[in-house]
């Protein structure tokens, strides 16, 4: 029995059996305890478009003219996780997880391909390293490594606001040159500032910027003589500092006393081992301000 569509009934109308079957029975949601009860109740009166609700399965179904089918059901029967995704399911709440994200175990880690649609977590490198291609590394083919190209890396920062000496140790010896930059230096006026690598290794020789000779036969390299109370600045480059040989040195210094004055010299130091520690010291009095930064230079 096919449905006849929408019909408006008026107050007082008497419905015939045909009208009930045609209009009402096919345009309401009929509730049954289960499918068996539905079959019994609707025996002989099934019509396309009937809607029923089954209490035992909480299922809303429509009669297609041949069978009861799920209301609004589509053609998706399940969700299957693919590469980089986990989870899925065929019913109920379906959860999908990004496996790449869950593989990361620490800040800075990255995900790299390992071939044939697979991947793995590559832990973060150390400060100053760069990601480098290396086909000998399995399975990543990449690695974190110290840059072989030029550039500067800050190795140490020391605030020199008290005391008469500072020792900076555990400096990396994986660079070519060592560069010291001392800014905003304040200290006892007229004092000399020196740089030592190891006790008993003397600095020898050198030439001032004006061409005059300078001799520093002492256990430390003189960075700045006759300092001012404030406004001092020092820079020093130690070349080939990781070599087991004497090092050439380039020093520049300046101080503010009624105007800038400064100087510098080129020389060498006889310390014949790699430099991983330096000590800066003042001859008399103490430091009162300043920041000493040490860089490794490629």
- pLDDT greater than 50 at residue 222: yes
If you average pLDDT over every residue of the chain, what do you get? 81
Q: What is the predicted pLDDT for the residue at 289?
A: 94
Q: What is the predicted pLDDT for the residue at 1?
A: 41
pLDDT digits (tens, 9 = 90+) for 228-273: 888 889 999 999 999 988 888 888 888 765 555 677 777 777 778 8
Q: What is the predicted pLDDT for the residue at 120?
A: 86
pLDDT interval class at 164 (50, 70, 90):
very high
Q: What is the predicted pLDDT for the residue at 206?
A: 58
When pLDDT is averaged across residues 142-167 and rounded to a whole number, the result is 87
pLDDT digits (tens, 9 = 90+) for 76-89: 778 888 877 888 88
Q: How far apart are CA 19 and CA 110, in angstroms?
A: 70
- pLDDT greater than 60 at residue 150: yes
Selected from 1.10.3720, 3.40.1620, 3.40.33, 2.60.40, the CATH number assigned to the domain covering 17-70 reads: 3.40.1620
DSSP 286: -
Q: What is the predicted pLDDT for the residue at 200?
A: 46
Q: What is the predicted pLDDT for the residue at 210?
A: 56
3-state secondary structure 84-127: CEEEEECCCCCCEEEHHHHHCCCCCCEEEEEECCEEEEECCCCC
Q: What is the predicted pLDDT for the residue at 2?
A: 45
- pLDDT greater than 70 at residue 131: yes
Long-range contacts at 147-153 (CB < 8 A, ≥ 24 apart): 147/298, 148/298, 149/298, 150/297, 150/298, 151/297, 151/298, 152/179, 152/295, 152/296, 152/297, 152/298, 153/127, 153/128, 153/295, 153/296
Q: How far apart are CA 198 and CA 200, in angstroms?
A: 6
**Fold classification of 152-297 (topology level):** Jelly Rolls (2.60.120)
* Of 267 and 73, the one with more pLDDT: 267
pLDDT digits (tens, 9 = 90+) for 7-44: 667 888 887 877 766 666 556 788 899 999 999 988 88
Q: What is the predicted pLDDT for the residue at 44?
A: 82
Domain ranges of the chain: 17-70, 78-104, 109-146, 152-297
């Amino acid at each position: 029995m096919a449905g006849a569509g929408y019909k408006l009934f008026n107050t007082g109308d008497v419905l015939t059996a045909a009208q009930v079957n045609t209009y009402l029975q096919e345009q309401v949601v009929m509730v049954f305890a289960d499918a068996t009860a539905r079959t019994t109740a609707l025996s002989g009166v099934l019509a396309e478009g009937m809607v029923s609700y089954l209490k035992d399965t909480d299922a809303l179904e429509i009669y297609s003219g041949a069978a009861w089918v799920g209301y609004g059901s589509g053609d998706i029967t399940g969700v299957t996780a693919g590469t980089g995704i986990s989870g899925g399911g065929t019913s109920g709440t379906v959860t999908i997880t990004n496996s790449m994200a869950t593989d990361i175990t620490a800040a800075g880690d990255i995900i790299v391909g390992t071939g044939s649609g697979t991947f793995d977590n590559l832990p973060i490198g150390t400060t100053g390293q760069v990601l480098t291609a290396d086909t000998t590394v399995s399975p990543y083919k990449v690695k974190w490594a110290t840059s072989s190209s030029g550039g500067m890396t800050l190795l140490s920062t020391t605030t020199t606001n008290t005391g008469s000496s500072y020792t900076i140790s555990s400096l990396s010896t994986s660079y070519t040159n060592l560069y010291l930059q001392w800014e905003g230096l304040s200290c006892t006026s007229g004092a000399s500032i020196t740089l030592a690598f190891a006790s008993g290794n003397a600095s020898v020789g050198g030439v001032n910027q004006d061409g005059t000779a300078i001799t520093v036969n002492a256990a430390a390299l003189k960075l700045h003589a006759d300092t001012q109370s404030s406004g001092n600045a020092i820079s020093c480059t130690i070349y080939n500092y990781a070599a087991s040989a004497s090092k050439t040195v380039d020093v520049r210094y300046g101080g503010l006393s009624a105007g800038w004055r400064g100087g510098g010299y080129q020389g060498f130091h006889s310390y014949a081992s790699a430099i991983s520690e330096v000590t800066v010291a003042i001859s008399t009095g103490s430091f009162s301000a300043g920041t000493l930064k040490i860089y490794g230079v490629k």
